[in-house]
């Protein structure tokens, strides 16, 4: 059983249209690097050039915001769901 | 039925203005709900709600709140109805194209419910007017369409102590929450900083499914009514995520950020310059060229590179013949096929994404690169009226 990453539709084009990805890495940051290696144009949308999270893209492990856990060092285990939520402003 | 409700109305010693016989009939399906009843309906009638933005989200919010009998609706918008709005902005009809959205909305809402008082604010919400305006209402609904106004609404709600019923949409995804409640976080706790200009396209650039603002706006209206009635579990401290393509709705937890300058440390004691906060002033730093000038140089100077950084779907709607399509995200992939020393003019729809592209190309040692001011829309106005505006 792997870890599931849910991408919003705004980011799916950078992952060849995929909206659900699977990773097996041990932290959120490692998962970001993992999917960033698979989809290089996705990486700069998820993390800045030093690999740190942006203030306008939120990562949730299950329903917890990782900023209130251990940021990109937050551990993830099989069965966890990571949801990526970028700020959008449309109305 | 009406007699029964009138009898119940007479028995009820509730707060709020009395309901007329017509109103008792109109709201009878509410009155039958134990969670609403006559008393709740009078509370709805006593409520004052400010709807900021009469577009995709503001349409369902205002329509449902008017229909529900919210006594006073404040309406803020300074825009005009455009044909491209009609796919999702149900307040406005085909006959309203070209009218002010406020006029169009007022006509429609009075038709929906003449018992509602509509307060017109034909203006943009600004740092100069936001506190005065918001302080006149009990609840604020954020139906705006840009980051700068969203931070403004949030900060003004924190400073005036008004709840901010937030919704935002893009393509097939939506977000809903109730911010600025004493028990929960504010918008800045969720997004301490906005994305840089051009990084996240607007709906005008990236598109939006027409029903999505319906899904999200109706959820916002629901939270407003629950709040007025004091019933149910408020969407405070939770962010509701709507995924229309996946047919998934889920909530994630939101927490107050103790270091939030608005609701945490409270170091933000007055409204700020939100354009500057959102980096909108920085487009000045990018060299700009008008469409007329760009066209003239393109025609007269051999070797000019005219680059269109919009998406393929936008290109399919309208294009400048002879320009090279390079969607912004793919720009790094084509650098080697461009000449760094030749004059390079970059355009998008209105100029935000192309400003980002120009900034990037300058970092990549392009020495003669310019942003086409106003994008293809202004090109259509000033150079070639045959280009479709969208």
- Average pLDDT (B192-216) is 86
Which of chain B's residues have a Cβ under 8 Å away from the Cβ of A91?
53, 55-58, 142-145, 167-169, 203, 213
Any idea which fold B47-281 has? Rossmann fold (3.40.50)
Q: Name, of A24-28, B130-134, B334-338, the range with top average pLDDT.
A: B130-134
pLDDT at residue B171 greater than cutoff 70: yes
Residue A91 lies in a domain: no
- Tell me how many domains chain A contains: 1
Place of tokens 């008082």: B117
Q: How far is A64 from chain B (nearest CA, A)?
A: 6
pLDDT at residue B282 greater than cutoff 60: no
Which of chain A's residues have a Cβ under 8 Å away from the Cβ of B171?
9-10
pLDDT at residue B271 greater than cutoff 70: yes
**pLDDT the model gives residue B284:** 55
- Under an 8 A CB cutoff, do A10 and B170 touch? yes
**pLDDT the model gives residue A52:** 93
Disruptive mutation site among B238, B249, B252 for chain A (greatest number of A CBs within 10 Å): B252
Residue A7 lies in a domain: yes
Domain that holds residue A34: 3-86
> pLDDT tens for residues B184-199?
999 999 999 999 877 7
* Complex ipTM: 0.94
Query: Which of B145, B252, B254 has its CB closest to that of A91?
Result: B145
Given pLDDT bands bounded at 50, 70 and 90, which one contains residue B109? very high
User: What are the boundaries of each domain within chain B?
Assistant: 47-281, 286-382
- Average pLDDT (B113-119) is 98
Q: What is the DSSP letter of B20?
A: P
> In 3-state terms, what secondary structure has residue B247?
coil
User: What CATH number is given to the structural domain containing A72?
Assistant: 3.10.20.30
Q: How far is A89 from chain B (nearest CA, A)?
A: 5
Instruction: Scan residues 128-167 of B and list those with Cβ closer than 8 Å to A.
Output: 142-147, 150, 167
For residues B78, B80, B82, B87, the Cα torsion angle rounded to the nearest 10 degrees is 60
Disruptive mutation site among A4, A59, A64, A88 for chain B (greatest number of B CBs within 10 Å): A88
**pLDDT the model gives residue B154:** 98
- Average pLDDT (B33-57) is 97
Which of chain A's residues have a Cβ under 8 Å away from the Cβ of B239?
85
pLDDT at residue B147 greater than cutoff 70: yes
Query: Which of A10, A54, A64 has its CB closest to that of B171?
Result: A10
Q: Which residue in A has a C-alpha nearest to residue B55's C-alpha?
A: A91
- Under an 8 A CB cutoff, do B200 and A88 touch? yes
Q: Which residue in B has a C-alpha nearest to residue A45's C-alpha?
A: B199
> pLDDT tens for residues A47-69?
998 999 999 999 999 999 999 99
**pLDDT the model gives residue B8:** 42
Which of chain B's residues have a Cβ under 8 Å away from the Cβ of A40?
none
Percent of chain B with pLDDT over 90: 87
> pLDDT tens for residues B235-250?
999 999 999 999 999 9
**pLDDT the model gives residue B279:** 82
Query: Which of A14, A65, A86 has its CB closest to that of B255?
Result: A65
**pLDDT the model gives residue B15:** 66
Percent of chain B with pLDDT over 70: 95
**pLDDT the model gives residue B207:** 86
Find out whether A28 and A59 touch, Cβ atoms under 8 Å: yes
Between CA B122 and CA B109 the distance in angstroms is 16
- Average pLDDT (B127-149) is 97
Q: Which residue in A has a C-alpha nearest to residue B189's C-alpha?
A: A55
Q: How far is B162 from chain A (nearest CA, A)?
A: 20
For residues B232, B235, B237, B241, the Cα torsion angle rounded to the nearest 10 degrees is 140
pLDDT at residue B4 greater than cutoff 70: no
**pLDDT the model gives residue B145:** 94
Between CA B150 and CA B165 the distance in angstroms is 11
Average pLDDT, rounded, for chain B:
93
Any idea which fold B286-382 has? Oxidized Rhodanese; domain 1 (3.40.250)
Residue A18 lies in a domain: yes
**pLDDT the model gives residue A1:** 63
Pairing of strands B238-243, B173-179: antiparallel
Residue A8 lies in a domain: yes
- Under an 8 A CB cutoff, do A90 and B208 touch? yes
- Average pLDDT (B25-54) is 97
Find out whether B58 and B52 touch, Cβ atoms under 8 Å: yes
Between CA B41 and CA B32 the distance in angstroms is 10
**pLDDT the model gives residue B91:** 98
**pLDDT the model gives residue B202:** 76
Cα distances (angstroms) measured from residue B350 to each of B1, B291, B353:
56, 11, 8
Residue A53 lies in a domain: yes
Given pLDDT bands bounded at 50, 70 and 90, which one contains residue B6? very low
Given pLDDT bands bounded at 50, 70 and 90, which one contains residue B325? very high
Q: Does A88 touch chain B (CB under 8 A)?
A: yes
Between CA B36 and CA B48 the distance in angstroms is 17
């Amino acid at each position: 059983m792997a870890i599931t990453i849910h991408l919003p539709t705004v980011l799916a084009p950078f992952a060849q249209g995929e909206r659900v990805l699977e990773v097996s890495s041990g932290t959120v940051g490692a998962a970001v690097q993992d999917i960033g290696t698979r989809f290089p144009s996705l990486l700069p949308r998820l993390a800045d050039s030093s690999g740190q999270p942006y203030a306008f893209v939120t990562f949730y492990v299950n329903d917890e915001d990782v900023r209130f856990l251990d940021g990109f060092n937050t551990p993830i285990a099989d069965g966890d769901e990571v949801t990526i939520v970028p700020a959008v402003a449309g109305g | 039925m009406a007699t029964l409700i009138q009898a119940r109305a007479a028995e009820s010693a509730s707060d709020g203005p009395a309901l007329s016989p017509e109103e008792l009939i109109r709201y009878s399906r509410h009155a039958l709900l134990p969670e609403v009843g006559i008393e709740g309906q009078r509370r709805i009638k006593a409520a004052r709600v400010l709807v900021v933005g009469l577009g995709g989200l503001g349409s369902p919010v205002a329509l449902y709140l008017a229909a529900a009998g919210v006594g006073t609706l404040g309406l803020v918008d300074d825009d005009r109805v455009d044909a491209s709005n009609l796919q999702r902005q149900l307040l406005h009809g085909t006959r309203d194209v070209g009218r002010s959205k406020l006029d169009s909305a007022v006509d429609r809402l009075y038709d929906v419910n003449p018992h509602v008082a509509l307060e017109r604010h034909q203006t943009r919400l600004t740092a100069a007017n936001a506190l005065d305006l918001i302080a006149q209402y009990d609840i604020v609904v954020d139906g705006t369409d840009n980051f700068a106004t969203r931070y403004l609404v949030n900060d003004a709600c924190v400073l005036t102590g008004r709840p901010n019923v937030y919704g935002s949409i893009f393509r097939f995804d939506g977000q809903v929450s109730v911010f600025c409640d004493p028990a929960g976080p504010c918008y800045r706790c969720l997004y301490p900083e906005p994305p840089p200009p051009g990084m996240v396209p607007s709906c005008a650039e990236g598109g939006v499914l027409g029903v999505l603002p319906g899904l999200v706006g109706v959820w916002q209206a629901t939270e407003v009514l629950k709040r007025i009635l004091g019933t149910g579990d408020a969407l405070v401290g939770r962010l509701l995520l709507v995924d229309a393509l996946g047919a998934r709705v889920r909530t994630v937890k939101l927490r107050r950020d103790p270091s939030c300058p608005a609701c945490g440390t409270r170091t933000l004691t007055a409204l700020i310059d939100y354009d500057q906060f959102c980096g909108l002033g920085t487009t000045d730093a990018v060299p700009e060229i008008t469409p007329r000038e760009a066209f003239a140089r393109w025609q007269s100077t051999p070797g000019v590179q005219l680059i269109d950084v919009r998406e393929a779907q936008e290109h399919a709607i309208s294009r400048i013949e002879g320009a090279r399509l390079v969607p912004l995200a793919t720009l790094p992939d084509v650098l080697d096929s461009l000449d760094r020393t030749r004059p390079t003019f970059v355009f998008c729809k209105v100029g935000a994404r192309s400003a980002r592209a120009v900034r990037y190309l300058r970092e990549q040692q392009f020495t003669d690169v310019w942003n086409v001011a106003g994008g293809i829309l202004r090109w259509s106005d000033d150079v070639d009226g045959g280009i479709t505006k969208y």
